[in-house]
Amino acid sequence: MKVLITGAAGFLGSHLCDRFLAEGHQVVGMDNFITGHPDNIAHLFGRGDFSFVRHDVTNFIYVEGPLDGVLHFASPASPVDYLEQPIPTLKVGSLGTHKALGLAKAKGARFLLASTSEVYGDPLVHPQPESYWGHVNPVGPRGVYDEAKRFAEAMTMAYHRFHGVETRIVRIFNTYGPRMRPGDGRVVSNFIVQALRGEPLSVYGDGSQTRSFCYVDDLVEGIFRLFHSDRVDPTNIGNPIEFTVQQLADQVLEMIPGTGSVVQRHPLPEDDPKVRRPDITLAREVLGWEPRVPLREGLERTIPHFRTLVERHDLSARTL
């Protein structure tokens, strides 16, 4: 197959490029480097089965020749990014999704949308099944990301129903691993970087809010299976094992000892979800998928990435 992956230089997009190439497919990567970085795909340049186009997907997308798949991963995806870039976030979720779907329609290609657990907002149902419609504040600060993805899902289903485009929608829950940016504001990267630098770990609220952390290799496996499946409706991909933020902080401090880091508490941000855990019943039944990497093992694979950045003093670079 030949596939286009938008957001290819981002955390998830770059790992997805690796997976499709490893399976023998051709990949066209596309990114405008607003939040992605060339370093994430530098190892792919020069390969005959990989090409790259620097492009903003909110504009018309052109790819020469036949195309079998379009995987739309272009978007700011961390709180720091979408709070600092609210309008580009809304545009890539709306205009970018429209342009990517238009390309898929023109090429007769299968389309996969990278959606998010944020469509559930601060959920009133726990854990969150795909049938739950969510509890989102559309005018709150996080609404720019939540509603962009909800609109993108609606647009994707409209193209499927009206134009007959073959579509897939993955709702991604908290994911971590190598190639995360140190300054992206996500809790795993925050804690690891702060611990490595001997700084206090920033815990918001009392730390009792929960998250479910999925290692990136597990997530990519789930996405790959979903893309090749027949399932059209949204599908949760994430780890159903729930941890409090305080438990994560304790785990990181245990694994990075001797730096003098302690926990420092801050006020809880507006609309910050109190709980977040996927119901992956459908992923298990339809895809035969469930995560394999436990949190401790995933952190052991992730910490060296950030240690290298600390040693190179690259943490001040928001683009890494």
Q: Which residues are catalytic?
A: 145
Environment class of 124 (CB within 10 Å of its CB; exposed 0-12, middle 13-18, buried 19+)? exposed
- Whether omega for the bond prior to residue 127 falls within 30 degrees of 0, making it cis, is yes
Cite the DSSP H helix spans in 36-78.
Answer: none
How far apart are alpha carbons 208 and 117 in whole angstroms? 19
Q: List, in order, residues 6 or more apart from 311 with CB less than 8 Å away.
A: none
* Pairing mode of beta strands 26-31, 50-54: parallel
Residue labelled with tokens 């390309």: 103
Residue 42: CB atoms within 10 Å: 11
How far apart are alpha carbons 136 and 234 in whole angstroms? 17
* DSSP letters spanning 213-266: -EEHHHHHHHHHHHHTS---S-EEES---EEEHHHHHHHHHHHS-SS---EEEE
Nearest to 72 by CA among 154, 5, 163, 171: 5
Q: Is residue 121 helix, strand or coil?
A: strand
How far apart are alpha carbons 56 and 7 in whole angstroms? 10
